[in-house]
Structure 1
Amino acid sequence: MAFVTRFAPSPTGPVHLGHAYSAMLAADMARAAGGRFLLRIEDIDRARSRASWEAQIYDDLHWLGLDWPDPVMRQSKRLAVYGAALDALWARGLLYHCTCTRRDIETAMSAPQEGAMPFGPDGLIYPGTCRDLQRKDGVLRLNMATALDLVDDLNFTETGPRHAGRIEMDKADYLNGIGDIVLARRDMGTSYHLSVVLDDAELGTSHVVRGEDLFEATAIHVLLQRLFGLPTPEYHHHTLIRDAAGKRLAKRDDARALAKYRAEGRSPTDIRQMVGL
């Protein structure tokens, strides 16, 4: 099997040191294995995506010495693919419409008998309010219990520093720790979870290299891969680059933007040393 990694940024802010680390690590791993490093632009959030940020991504990555084949996959061009996948899940009775707002969910989960609000990799775990109401609009949620009846093996291989080994998932983990996740939002026509699974399969991604903040979301992706009959890559969730206070970097943290270091005269070698490569 060909060794294929990818870096998949969203053009919604500046490239910071954390992005640089993830991209360079993925490229390094592909190079060491004689494989390929790909770039994908995750621009399904049309309200926040900007052409200028996308152009900066290309410029910063080239400055770091990274290269990738064209054409670059862009999620905004694949909405029909996501729509067809949702139609297939709907035809199998695996989706339902939900009109609950975040406040509705918080209210339902804050009843005294519910105890502390449970959170999972997709946020607050949905209590299933709309599951049997046959709504006609709203977001599309996966009926987790029904989906789990259709799959057996939910395990995957992890090579990252904190979770290395064979990760074994139990169906109870999905029901109690994840719940009925959103697979399509009103303003996007898809979701991160759905699009990333379909995109990685289309690209032939054999090794997903990304931050450890997405480790728990991998269970969702493995389930979707099983439902669609897609291969499961190996996963490598790397440690996060953090600021002096130990907080992980975010796009709003312009102080760690790569453009700032470039303007100060830093070199790509300096950046590699700063992130521990």
Structure 2
Amino acid sequence: MNTIALGVTRATYETRVYFRQSDTIFFTFLFPIVMLSIFSVAFSATGNVGTNADGTGGISQAAFYLPGMIAAGILLSGVQNLAVDIAVERGDGTLKRLGGTPLPVLSYFIGKIGQVLLTSMLQIGLLLLIARFAFDVELPTDGDKWVTFAWVYLLGIFTSAVLGIALSRIPRTGKSATAVIIPIVLVLQFISGVYLAFSMLPEWLQNVASVFPLKWMAQGMRSVFLPDSFASQEQGGEWGLTGVAIVLVVWLVVGLIASRLTFRWIRKDS
């Protein structure tokens, strides 16, 4: 069986294992959905976001938070899921055992990234369904918006996946993985326009967030799901999709290099 076929088989196995872990399902798969529901209900009494001076217009709280939750889901599915999962597998000896088999490293990576891709698509699909039918959020009807959604999503999910593989090397033990990775992911969510409007943050914190990919994923998703009038609230006063693409590609390359340099099991192969 060739490397790609082994990777696809491995992705099927990884996906089955993923849905057998209740804590993983909640903190990576259901977490954005739960947070969207909480924010939508908790702030519904404050009225629409971006209303005109006469009180007309604007969008619902659910519509406002939806793009940020999609971006957060991408980060959780890739970075948090893989960083913790691989660190645990390193700690409990799974990687050592796999290193003694003919499974190539590339097939292992394909399996992990395939699992992330499948579960994140299911997550976003469920998130969009809940936003549309539970909170009456109007989804885009413009085909160009969905093209933007597709490339931001794909760049975001692959970038998050390879960064998760690279970050899995940071925890010293599998038991400490959650304590090390979750704070990193949580801080990024708070400074990247997921839970707070990005324009509310001080300029220096906006600059810090702009170094990391989550800010750009959230910005790209806002360009898809929010009215164009909201672009003026972005750091540069526009959606800046060229910048979104450039930053995500740079982080994708960094993640690929870092994951290749830091990933180890018993033997070195590719």
- TM-score after normalising by structure 1: 0.27
Which has the larger share of helix?
A: 2
Of Structure 1 and Structure 2, the greater strand share is in 1
